[in-house]
Structure 1
């Protein structure tokens, strides 16, 4: 239809021009307008095609580096779920006899740095598939239809590369899928909607009896933002959580990244795994890498445990700074951190890993805590103790200076966050309540009630050890950094003498 319309237009325009010239009409303005309009249209179309081509070249590259599941640590449950899903692709004929429908898509969800991309690469290696990777942001352009075109090109390229390589399957990995797969709200985001619609169409067009077979693996850390049409069975059939590793997983990851590094045999990596509670796989890799850098700075042939301890501090809080504090500030910071450390040892003995006064990141000093074991369920008593530890610094300042400083700001934010957790978990005197229905006045009352009571308890505990503070102050300022074991020895000796 478009072809005949173009031919009709080509036939009419010359006749119309001849008629206008014969009638004595000046056609130059019309010609100029037509030439300008045609030029702009051609430029826009060319730009859109060029953008699509450039985007395709950037993302459609087959990864040459292989990655096996054995090289990924700390995600045993996620790996087992993923392998089970991939077996549907590997054992195609066997599952066909049982009438099982192969999966079209697998969604990996979890915090950043937990290994979702690595799992996708390992999936391609496990299934002996072509691996193509793309990011959700690569499909978004200001030109409507470009993203949809790139989706079509992605699936087309996957089939072509699999056939060319003689593979029976291809794995397409889309990172940050929430960029193009967000919930549709009927707004004006036509480009986003067209891109998502095209992805849904392509997934619906995947047939298990066609070769090469296509498997889509997507990753996001914001699953709640995805459109329901994308999450339904028949598209992303399996949702696999890739969470932060536990202590056993962290130890596995540390061992993997220590394999190619000269580690001192005396280093206890299990201790490092305990001290790195809450770290992702990417952060643990950074700890080992930064530890090697510290060893190189000191000219050491082996990576020592002190290097890894400094690396943990850097990953958690940033690099050391050159800020020089006055004597009054150093004394206040030392008493503040002693408040945290002494409170921690009183409510959770053995929890202090390090007390440091050296400025790092935005902090003038800090206390690093060592969880005795990974915890995922918390009682009211445990949360109260966490608040007491957080308020220890401000309580010490009030005891010795009669007031607080701005250094307690983050401590108070942490304490109020714990109070929110208590309320939402039904652990306060309010009982089971919908936190969204609480007014700011009620929140303020609950915060004041809990925090004032725990602040009074904290000040009472620390007031009884005023002499311990005074005796430890000079030692902490002189040493600047004290390990948890040395601090407990110091605390024990001073408590006996007091």
Structure 2
């Protein structure tokens, strides 16, 4: 938890109370002057003169701002005292004397000296207090006018109840192994110093979003039991010149006072972008000055004396300045990648402790069905399953809840309100069955788990759920061609059954064309063009959106035509393969499609039993698929 204490010192509290008391007395003395004395009824000045002339006034005290007088009662004795406001009347003493009124001047009030003192002292005190307020907030408070140059880092310390340890982080075993050395140095630095070893000053955590880089940094602080300064790279940048560099200096000054400690900078690329970006060197913008100050601070402090470790996280390491990554600053780069099957299972087990699981829940099956999921995705998956169970008024989370949660994450929310007419529903059914039948035969090891014509997400009118049987990191040429054939299975089914095509296959065509172009320009899977890469090297490995962001290299017109011809040949060969397979199994296509129209969803063993009846192509069809590269330019 944050340990920053915003309470003022005791001496400042006493001064504040004294100041408030004096201010209150001044207000009372200025606006309520009669609150210390007796309440006296007021009368008009004309009534006072009338009573004097009627010989009803016994005595009077004439003051500058008030006249107090006493009248006779019914027995002729002195009675009630009244007051009136005087006017400029030079004949008043004569009138009082002629009517036998005993009069005198009103004595000065007893608290006049005190009021005068407050009137001279309090206004300067108010000015000083306001100025002191801005100065104190600027020196250490948050949000003050003069605190703009102060670091906004949050400080965390070890708390047995809430601290994060390596046991709370799963799926990144290699990264944890790299960081154990940092923890050992913070716990016992003498062992390293005695042998002459120098601990890295900085460790950069790189990886896709949601893989647990920030959580891993907190675990390092929790294991080491040292203060943990956490700040985002964007918090250094303001519109005022010099603010970012000032905050960097203040952050390292605070860290040196609490060493040994850890400084964690999240999203380092916000301030660490290369100074040569944009095609020219130099500049004087605020971000560059902040980066220069960070470089100076990391190069200046002595890690062996101050024991300050700088951890940083980014998913764009290719944009960072080379001076930031050199040895002596960020000495190490630790990859925090998406977990494999074993890692996903461990992550699910950690998050499943927070929910009530049913007896039939198999977390290993869920981990197998979620390839490519990061730690944040798996945490969201468990939460979605728990929400589904609570929505259906169940006491625990079942395997069906997890299955539905996976489909919601992958394909989107069911759109039962999106009603298709009978013709559209029929087209979607044949389209999805075409995907499933082609994928069942030549899917390259993946299994077809479910087909549905219930709309999901923003645009999907139906979907075919294909699940891998194991984690795969390499795909050969035949498997890539099989994937393209499956993508075109829906369009091919429309051609076979209806003799026409619709707009429903637009996304399938886009993905099939992209994959075929990657085969030719990136993977070198072309006998005509040879083992050459015509696509520029991809640097950004962690924010890839699945498209082809990199442009082709400068090639001749003949090479460009050859690339286009090769891509077209691969896609057309896959299209012919899908058409031949569906024509050969025309009756089974009708049977499964009619069943899907009736039930809307077919999954599990029932679907696998139907797809097992699909007859494979003959050798001639396989040869047509393999000879797709023989395109003459």
TM, length-normalised to structure 1: 0.84
Tell me which residue corresponds to 1:466.
Answer: 586
**Could you give the per-residue CA deviations for residues 378-426 of structure 1, whole angstroms, max 9, x where no partner exists?**
1111111111121111211222222332222222222223223323122
The question of whether the paired residues in 1 share the 8 Å contact of 2:451 and 2:603 is answered with yes
Q: Which residue of 1 aligns with 2:335?
A: 241
Structure 1 residue 318 displacement after superposition: 2.3
Aligned partner of 1:330 in structure 2 is 425
**1:152: Cα distance to partner?**
1.4
Q: Which residue of 2 aligns with 1:449?
A: 569
Alpha-carbon shift at residue 313 of structure 1 (Å): 1.2
In structure 2, the residue matched to 1:383 is 480
Which of 149, 152, 156 in structure 1 is aligned with 2:253? 156
- Using the alignment, how far apart are the partners of 1:54 and 1:437 within structure 2? 47
**1:371 matched residue in structure 2:** 468
2:491 corresponds to:
394
Contact 2:148 2:243 in 1 (8 A): no
Q: Given that residues 448 and 467 in structure 2 are in contact (C-alpha distance below 8 angstroms), is that contact kept between their aligned partners in structure 1?
A: yes
For residues 243-274 of structure 1, the C-alpha deviation after alignment (integer angstroms, 9 at most, x for no partner) is 11111111111111111211112122111111
Q: 1:56 to 1:290 in 2, by over 3 A?
A: farther
Shift in alpha-carbon separation, 1:445–1:495, aligned structure 2, 3 A:
closer
Greater RCO between the two (CA within 8 Å, min separation 6)?
A: 1
Measured in 1, the distance between the counterparts of 2:147 and 2:411 equals 42
Q: Tell me by how many angstroms 1:181 deviates.
A: 0.5
Which residue in the other structure is 1:351 paired with? 447
Give runs of aligned pairs for residues 77-88 of structure 1, distance below 5 A. 77-88=174-185
- How far off its partner does 1:438 sit? 5.8
Q: 1:482 aligns with which of 595, 598, 602?
A: 602
Task: Provide the C-alpha distance between the structure 2 equivalents of 1:420 and 1:99, rounded to a whole number of angstroms.
Answer: 53
Q: Which moved more, 1:63-72 or 1:250-259?
A: 63-72
In the alignment, does 2:309 pair up with 1:193?
no
**Paired residue secondary structure (1:437):** coil
Q: CA deviation at 1:444?
A: 2.4
1:215 maps to 2:313: no
- Do structure 1's residue 141 and structure 2's residue 232 form an aligned pair? no
Q: What is residue 294 of structure 1 aligned with on the other side?
A: 388
- Residues 267 and 305, structure 1, Cα contact 8 Å, conserved in 2: yes
SS of residue paired to 2:418? coil
- Where structure 2 has 5 or more consecutive residues not aligned to the other structure, the ranges are 1-137, 535-551, 617-633
Structure 1 contact 55–138 (Cα < 8 Å) conserved: no
Instruction: Give the distance between the partners of 1:57 and 1:367, measured in 2 at CA.
Output: 52
Tell me, yes or no, if structure 1 residue 122 matches structure 2 residue 219: yes
Cα shift at 1:83: 1.3
1:71 to 165, 168, 171: 168
Q: Distance in 1 between matches of 2:563 and 2:308?
A: 51
SS across alignment from 2:304: coil
Bigger Rg, structure 1 or 2: 2
Equivalent residue, structure 2, for 1:266? 360
Report the CA distance shift for 1:474/1:187 in structure 2 as closer, same or farther (over 3 A).
Answer: farther
Taking the TM superposition and a 5 Å limit, the aligned residue runs for 1:272-291 are 272-291=366-385
- Report the counterpart of residue 437 of structure 1 in structure 2: 553
Structure 1, unpaired ranges of 5+? 1-45, 163-167
Structure 2 CA distance, aligned partners of 1:493 and 1:437?
46
- Give the 3-state SS of the residue equivalent to 1:219 in structure 2: strand
What is the number of equivalent residue pairs in this alignment?
Answer: 444
Change (3 A) 1:383 1:148: same
Quick check: which one's helix share is greater? Answer: 1
Residue 416 of structure 1 aligns to a residue whose secondary structure is helix
Aligned-partner SS, 1:183 = coil
Equivalent of residue 205 in structure 1, options 283, 294, 300: 300
Structure 2 match to 1:107: 204
1:21 alignment partner in structure 2: none
CA distance in structure 2 between the partners assigned to 1:187 and 1:309 by the alignment: 54
Distance in 2, matches of 1:426 and 1:293, equals 47
> Which of 275-284 and 88-97 deviates more?
88-97
Instruction: Tell me whether 487-496 or 276-285 shows the greater mean CA deviation.
Output: 487-496
CA distance in 2 between partners of 1:486 and 1:206 (Å): 67
Deviation digits for residues 313-360 of structure 1 (CA, Å, limit 9, x no counterpart) = 111232222322221111111111111111111113661122122211
In the alignment, does 2:322 pair up with 1:228?
A: yes
Provide TM-score, normalisation by structure 2: 0.67
Whole-angstrom CA distance in 2 between matches of 1:443 and 1:418: 13
Residues 151 and 250 of structure 2 are in contact (CA less than 8 Å); yes or no, is this contact kept in structure 1?
no
CA separation of 1:445 and 1:141: change in aligned 2, threshold 3 A: farther
SS in 1 for 2:602: strand
Deviation at 1:54, TM superposition (A): 5.8
Secondary structure at 2:205 match in 1: strand
Distance 1:438 1:486 in 2: 52
8 Å contact 1:335–1:393 — kept in the other structure? yes
- Contact 2:439–2:448 at 8 Å: present in 1 too? yes
Please say if residues 171 and 346 of structure 2, whose CA atoms lie closer than 8 Å, have aligned partners that are also in contact: yes
